[in-house]
A = this chain, B = another copy of it.
Amino acid sequence: MARWEGNARGRLERAALDLFREQGYDGTTVVQITQRANLTERSFYRWFADKREVLFGDDDLEACYLPRIEAAPEGLGALPALLLAFASTPDVLRPRDFLLERAAVIAASPPLRERELIKMVTLSEKLVAALVRRGHDHQTASLAADVGSAVLRLATHRWLLGDDSDFSDLLATARRDLLDVAAEGPSTP
C-alpha cells in the first residue's frame, strides 16, 4: 500500500513536470495532471494541496538534516555539524534529470522562484534553531547557516552538473572555495 502510494506520488510529479514544460506552469490544471498520470483528483489531493506543491511538497531535506544535526557529536563546531548533516543530501534528492527539469520550470516563473526562496529561507531558519539547541549563540548559528547554505548550494550545483565525487568531498571543496573568496585581501592575487 505504502509502495503503491509512493508510485502514485512519483507518477503525479512526473506528469506535472512534463505538462509544466510542454504547456507552461500557468496553463496546466490539476485535472490535466491527474489525467496524464492516469489517477484520480482524489489521489492528487491526498499528496498535494495544489499544483504548485507538486514542485515543493517534499520536506525531505529538513527531515534529513535536522535529526543529523541533533545527533552530531557533542563539541562539534556549528559549521562542521551542518556539513556533517548535509553530507547525506544525495540520499534524499530526486534524480538529477528530474531536478534539472524542475529547476528550469521554477526559473521561468517568478511566483515559483519566490516559493523556492521562501522554502530555502525557512529551512535556513530551522538550521539556525537546531544549532542554537546545540548550545551555539544565535550569531554563530546564523553565520554558520549563511555559510553552510552557500556551501551546500555550490556543492549541489556541481553534483547536478554531473560531479560524482563523494558529497562530503564536494562540500569540503565548496567550503575551501568560499574561504578563498571570503579571505581575499584588498587586491586580487
Contact = CB atoms under 8 A, between A and B. Distances in A.
A139 to B, nearest CB: 7
Contacts of A150: 143, 146-147
B181 A175 contact: no
Contacts of A118: 114, 117
Given A114-B114, A187-B77, A146 B178 contact: yes
Contact of A143 (B178, B186, B188): B178
A133 to B, nearest CB: 15
A82 to B, nearest CB: 10
Given A118-B117, A147-B181, A175-B182, A75 B187 contact: yes
Interface residues of A, number: 33
Contacts of A175: 182
A146 B183 CA distance: 13
Q: Report whether over half of chain A's contact residues are helix, strand or loop; otherwise say mixed.
A: helix
Interface string A118-156: 100100000000000000000110111011011001100
B117 A181 contact: no
A117 B118 CA distance: 8
A184 B187 CA distance: 25
Contact of A178 (B75, B149, B182, B185): B182
Contacts of A121: 117
A179 B78 CA distance: 13
23 contacts: A75-B188, A76-B186, A76-B187, A76-B188, A77-B185, A77-B187, A78-B181, A79-B182, A79-B184, A80-B184, A80-B186, A80-B187, A114-B114, A114-B117, A117-B117, A117-B121, A140-B181, A143-B150, A143-B177, A144-B181, A146-B153, A179-B182, A182-B182
